[in-house]
C-alpha cells in the first residue's frame, strides 16, 4: 500500500502529520479549555455576538482557555471575550475560499489545511463545547462530538447549545422524529444541554471540571495503593 502512495499523495501525508505534530506541541500546555463554535456571518451588532463575548469573558475569568476556529463572527466574539481580561485565546484557523479571515483577538494561533486535523484539536483539548447559533460548520463540530461521546470513543463532556430561540426546533426534531423512528434514544438527548444564561454555562463547565478532578484524584489514589508493597503474614509475636 505504501508503494502506491506516489507523488502529491505522499507529500500530503507529511503535511497531515505536520499539522498534528504542531497542534500537539502548541496546545499541550493550555490547561482546561472550552471550545466555542458559531457562525462566521454574525456581526458585532447581533445579540449573540455580544452574548458570546460575555460567555467567553466569564469562562476566561474562571481559568478556562477559549478555543475557536479563529475566524470572524462568533469566533471573533469568543476570542475577544477571552483576551478582555488577559486570558488564553486560541484560534485554530483554516484556509477556506470564503468567510475565513483570522480575527485579531488570538494569543495563540495555529493554521490548518485539513478539517479533520483541526477537529482533533477541538476535541482533544476541550472539557466542554459551547455552540452558539451557526451553520453547517457549527453543526458538524457539534454532531461529531455528540457521536464520539454516544459511541464511547471519547470521555463525555458538556455539549451546550446556547440560544433556545435558535436551537429548539432542532431539538424538537430529535424528540418528535428521531426518537419516534428509534434512530436515537432518550439517553442520547440527555447528552445535550440548552441554555440562554452565560452563568449557567459556567456552572455546567465547573461541575464537570469538579467531577473530572475527583475522578483523577480517585484514580491516582487507587494507583498509589496498588503500588504499595503488601506485607506478608507471619507468626511473629504469637506464643509458641
Instruction: Give the model's pLDDT for residue 224.
Output: 67
Measured in degrees and rounded to the nearest 5, phi and psi for residue 46 equal -70, 140
pLDDT score recorded for residue 182: 96
Q: With 0-12 CB in 10 A as exposed, 13-18 as middle and 19+ as buried, what is 114?
A: middle
What span, in angstroms and rounded, lies between the C-alpha atoms of 167 and 164? 5
pLDDT at position 132: 98
Rounded to two decimals, what is the model's pTM?
A: 0.86
Give the pLDDT of residue 29.
Answer: 94
The C-alpha cell at 133 is 447559533
Beta strands of 95-228 (E only): which ranges?
Answer: 108-112, 126-131, 159-162, 192-195
Question: Residue 183: what pLDDT?
Answer: 97
- What is the mean pLDDT, run by run of 10 residues, along the chain of 240 residues? 55 91 96 97 97 98 97 97 95 79 93 94 97 97 97 96 98 97 95 98 96 78 66 48
Helix, strand or coil, per DSSP, at residue 16: helix
Q: Which architecture, in CATH terms, is 17-225?
A: 3-Layer(aba) Sandwich (3.40)
Residue 239 is predicted with a pLDDT of 45
Rounded alpha-carbon distances, angstroms, from residue 238 to 230, 231, 232, 234: 20, 17, 15, 9
Amino acid at each position: 500500500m505504501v508503494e502506491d502512495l506516489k507523488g502529491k499523495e505522499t507529500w500530503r501525508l507529511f503535511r497531515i502529520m505536520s499539522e498534528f505534530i504542531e497542534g500537539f506541541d502548541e496546545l499541550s500546555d493550555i490547561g482546561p479549555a472550552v471550545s466555542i463554535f458559531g457562525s462566521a456571518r454574525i456581526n458585532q451588532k447581533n445579540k449573540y455576538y455580544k452574548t458570546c463575548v460575555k460567555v467567553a469573558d466569564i469562562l476566561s475569568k474562571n481559568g478556562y482557555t477559549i478555543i475557536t476556529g479563529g475566524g470572524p463572527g462568533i469566533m471573533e466574539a469568543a476570542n475577544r471575550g477571552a483576551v478582555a481580561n488577559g486570558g488564553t485565546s486560541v484560534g485554530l484557523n483554516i484556509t477556506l475560499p470564503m468567510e475565513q479571515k483570522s480575527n485579531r483577538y488570538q494569543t495563540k494561533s495555529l493554521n490548518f489545511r485539513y478539517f479533520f486535523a483541526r477537529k482533533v484539536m477541538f476535541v482533544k483539548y476541550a472539557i466542554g463545547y459551547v455552540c452558539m447559533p451557526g451553520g453547517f460548520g457549527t453543526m458538524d463540530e457539534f454532531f461529531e462530538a455528540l457521536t464520539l461521546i454516544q459511541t464511547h470513543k471519547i470521555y463525555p463532556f458538556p455539549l451546550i447549545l446556547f440560544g433556545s430561540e435558535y436551537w429548539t426546533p432542532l431539538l424538537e426534531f430529535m424528540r418528535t422524529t428521531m426518537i419516534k423512528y428509534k434512530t436515537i434514544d432518550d439517553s442520547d438527548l440527555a447528552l445535550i444541554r440548552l441554555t440562554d444564561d452565560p452563568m449557567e454555562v459556567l456552572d455546567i463547565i465547573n461541575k464537570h471540571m469538579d467531577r473530572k478532578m475527583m475522578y483523577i484524584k480517585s484514580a491516582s489514589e487507587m494507583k498509589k495503593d496498588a503500588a504499595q508493597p503488601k506485607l506478608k503474614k507471619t507468626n511473629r509475636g504469637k506464643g509458641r
